[in-house]
Amino acid sequence: MAQTSPQKVVSVYLYVPNIIGYMRILMNCVAFAFCSSNKTLFAILYFFSFFCDGLDGWFARKFDQVSTFGAVLDMITDRVSTACLLALLSQLYRPGLIFLSLLGLDIASHWLQMYSSFLSGKTSHKDVKDESNWLLKAYYGQRLFMAFCCLGSEVLYIILFLLAGNQSESVLDVCLNAMKQSSLLSLSLFLTLTGWGIKQVINIIQMKTAADSCVFYDMKRSN
C-alpha cells in the first residue's frame, strides 16, 4: 500500500466542510453546557449547529472536498447531538421512555445504514439507488424533502425543550396546552410533527432494509 504524505493527511482534516464540523461540535458543547441556565442560548446554538449541517455538504461539493472522514464526522455529530437532546427531553417529560426509544431508533437506523453501505462497497450511506422502497429513495434523493423531515424533527425537539417546565410533565399535555394558547405555535407543532413523523417512518424502513442487506451479505459469504 502506497504511503500517504503527512501533508495530505492534514489537508483532509482542514477541509472547509470538516472545519465546519468541528465548529458544530464546539457549538453543541457550549449549548449543552448552558441548557439548564439559558434555554434561549441553547436553542440558538443548537439550531445554528443544525443549520451548519447543510452548509458543510454544500461546501464539500463546491470545493470538491468530499471525504469519508467528513461523512463520518457529520454522521457522528448529528447522532450525538440529537441523542443528547433526546436524553435531556427524557428527563423533562413523561414518559421518558418515548424519547429514549427515539434515541435508540435513530442510532440503530443510521449505524446499520452506514455499515451496510460499506459492506455493499458504497462510498456514502446516502446512496440508495438500488433500494426498492420509494420513501427511502425520496428522502435521500430529494434534498428539500430530506430538509423538511430533518428540520421538522430537530425543531420539534427544540420547541419541546423550550416548553418544558421545571417539573416532569406529560409531553401530550404540554403540546395540547401550547396549541390552545397560540395559533402560530399550533401551526409550528403541526408542521414539525409532520416532518418528525415521516422521519421516524423512514428510520424504521432504513433500519429494516439495512439489516436485510447485512443478512444478505452473510448469506453470500456462506454460499
Beta bridge partners of 169: 93
Known catalytic residue: 218? Answer: no
- Do residues 188 and 159 make contact, with C-beta atoms less than 8 angstroms apart? yes
- Do residues 194 and 145 make contact, with C-beta atoms less than 8 angstroms apart? no
Backbone angles phi, psi at 187, to 5 degrees: -65, -40
d(CA 163, CA 176) in angstroms, rounded, equals 11
**Residue of 53, 74, 78, 106 marked active site:** 78
Helix 68-92 × helix 97-119 angle, to 10°: 170
Q: Is the dihedral of CA 90, 94, 97, 101 positive or negative?
A: negative
Exposed, middle or buried: residue 56 (CB in 10 Å: 0-12, 13-18, 19+)?
Answer: buried
Write 101-106 long-range contacts (CB < 8 A, 24+): 102/200, 105/200, 105/203, 105/204, 105/207, 106/79, 106/82, 106/203
The residue assigned the cell 422521519 is: 199
- Do residues 63 and 11 make contact, with C-beta atoms less than 8 angstroms apart? no
Enzyme catalytic residues: 78
